[in-house]
Amino acid sequence: MPILSYPNFLQAAERKLSDSGNTCGNHAVLTINLGRLAELDGILGYAAVDQIIQTIATQLADALNPEDLTGITGRHQVSCLLVNLLAHAHAVLAAHKITRILNSPFPLGRQNILLNPCIGVAYGCDKNSTIDLMMRNASLAMQQALQEKELIKLFVENPEDAYLTQLHLWSDLNEAIETSALHLQFQPQFSVASGKIESTEALLRWTHPHHGPIRPDKLIQVAEGSILMPKLTQWVLHTALRECSTYRKAGIDAGVSINFSADDLREPDIIDLTAQALNIWNIPSDRITVEVTETAVMDTNRNILDTLNHLKDMGLKLSMDDFGTGYSSMSRMLELPLDEVKIDMIFVRQMTTHPKHERIVDSIINLAHQLNLTVVAEGVEDIDTFRRLTELGCDVIQGYLIGKPMPLTDFIKTVSQQSFEFLQPALSEAGDSDQSIPGIMNSR
């Protein structure tokens, strides 16, 4: 059977389906991604890569039944229509057969290449299934396989299907960024030494028109790995710095911390995006902190270290977020140009009830201070935890006790009116008189 081009594949498939009385239920489409070949486009040229795909498609057609169809349906994509299946499971068996063929090293000149394929499988569900629908479903399953790094993924017809929801969220998020339907909330960070709010953490918020509020970590997951991520980061950077300049003009002398994801650190334009935002909003660069998670910075990719050094050279501060939950190596810690660590709230929230948690917090504070780093504790919800943290020498406190994340106007109102006198007894108990806070004393 010849290898068909995309339009010919669709036409031939439609004919096959109508010849069999459109009983799509006996058929399946397999869509095979050969994205690894994209790397060769720039090395060998399109014509040579097309030839390789033709060879691969021929191998696949030879392995299938003679009445099945094989076509090249995308730049690095081959699809097969399997007809007259005795059982749906036979489509999965065919997909396994194909992965065995494609997972053997493919000879190229004197070298072998690994194709790392992944396959989406979609059955025709009933008589009404068209080839278009089966192709769409196989393609969705293939995207899901790619994302989840699986070899074979089966399309499951279910409107609540996580991947479809994610796909819709992706386009809705794209629109939300373009129409500025997102907003930021600011959570105060209280400095023990000055008794004032010295900074805030900017946290992303999105209320989806149908799904309601979407958790920011979920939102980042939707954007990551796609062109949305740099767009979103650009939006966050500009909005955080603009709103920070608004509260600074309103008399709140606080900086701002912005979360960067692992994707952000790998983004080639991240330095330019940050420099542009700094130029426009004119906030002293040492009042801006970039928070990165342990896991993101433990990627030994050289570019990540270069990016962090670059941000640091621009005068920004760097903070290691969620400290204690990732898998830091001490040598990597020493390599990173850090200013701050944030102790993860899983240790903080249980430190007054679990002695082991308290010992971990104590050790992190000591280690950080040995390395001249500022220590922030997040998730501080009660005065006992606050008192213990200040006794242990923690520098900055963040959590519901000080303030929840708030929209800009609420933040300005709350912080302008709040004198934090309620913290004074805990601070006085926590230590000697040096611990009493100038900010609080001044406010009296």
Q: Which two tokens stand for residue 38?
A: 């994209």
Please, what is the minimum distance in Å from the beta carbon of residue 196 to Ca ion? 20
Residues 6+ positions from 430 with CB-CB distance below 8 Å: 387, 388, 390, 391
| Percentages of the chain per state (helix, strand, coil), in multiples of 5 | 50, 20, 30
Which residue, 68 or 340, has its beta carbon nearer to ligand C2E?
340
Please, what is the minimum distance in Å from the beta carbon of residue 405 to ligand C2E? 5
Amino acid at residue number 138: A
Q: Which does 203 bind (CB under 5 to 8 A by kind): Ca ion, ligand C2E, none?
A: ligand C2E
Q: Which does 172 bind (CB under 5 to 8 A by kind): Ca ion, ligand C2E, none?
A: none
The H or E element spanning position 357 is helix 355-370
Please, what is the minimum distance in Å from the beta carbon of residue 203 to ligand C2E? 4
Site stretch for ligand C2E (CB under 6 A), options 22-30, 43-51, 398-406, 414-422: 398-406
Which residue, 220 or 415, has its beta carbon nearer to ligand C2E?
220
Burial of 308-325, coded b for 16+ CB within 10 Å and e otherwise, reads beebbeeebbbbbbbbbe
Q: CA angle, corner 24, sides to 18 and 26, nearest 5?
A: 115
x/- mask, Ca ion, residues 290-319, rule CB under 5 A, reads -x----------------------------
Q: Does 391 bind ligand C2E (CB under 6 A)?
A: no
- Out of 33, 143, 259, 385, point to the residue binding Ca ion (CB under 5 A): 259
Q: Does 322 bind Ca ion (CB under 5 A)?
A: yes
Q: Does 204 bind ligand C2E (CB under 6 A)?
A: yes
Q: Does 379 bind ligand C2E (CB under 6 A)?
A: yes
Which residue, 195 or 399, has its beta carbon nearer to ligand C2E?
399
Q: Does 198 bind ligand C2E (CB under 6 A)?
A: no
Site stretch for ligand C2E (CB under 6 A), options 115-123, 128-136, 378-386, 410-418: 378-386
- Closest C-alpha among 94, 97, 100 to residue 82: 94
Please, what is the minimum distance in Å from the beta carbon of residue 372 to ligand C2E? 23
Which residue, 154 or 392, has its beta carbon nearer to ligand C2E?
392
- Closest C-alpha among 282, 288, 279 to residue 259: 288
Query: How is 80-125 classified by DSSP, letter by letter?
Result: EEE-S-SSTHHHHHHHHHHHHHHHSPEEETTEEE----EEEEEE--
Dihedral sign computed on CA atoms, order 287, 288, 294, 297 = negative
270-281 vs 228-249: helix crossing angle, rounded to 10: 20
Q: Does 259 bind ligand C2E (CB under 6 A)?
A: yes
Q: Does 292 bind ligand C2E (CB under 6 A)?
A: no
**Residues 153 and 55 sit within 8 Å (Cβ to Cβ):** no
Dist CA 225 CA 245 (whole Å): 31
Which residue, 31 or 261, has its beta carbon nearer to ligand C2E?
261
**Residues 149 and 44 sit within 8 Å (Cβ to Cβ):** no
- Out of 284, 329, 353, 400, point to the residue binding ligand C2E (CB under 6 A): 400
CB-CB neighbours of 97 under 10 Å? 13
Binding to ligand C2E, residues 226-245 (CB under 6 A): 236
Site stretch for Ca ion (CB under 5 A), options 9-17, 89-97, 321-329, 359-367: 321-329
What residue ranges bind ligand C2E (CB under 6 A)? 187, 203-204, 215-217, 220, 236, 259-261, 321-322, 378-381, 399-400, 405
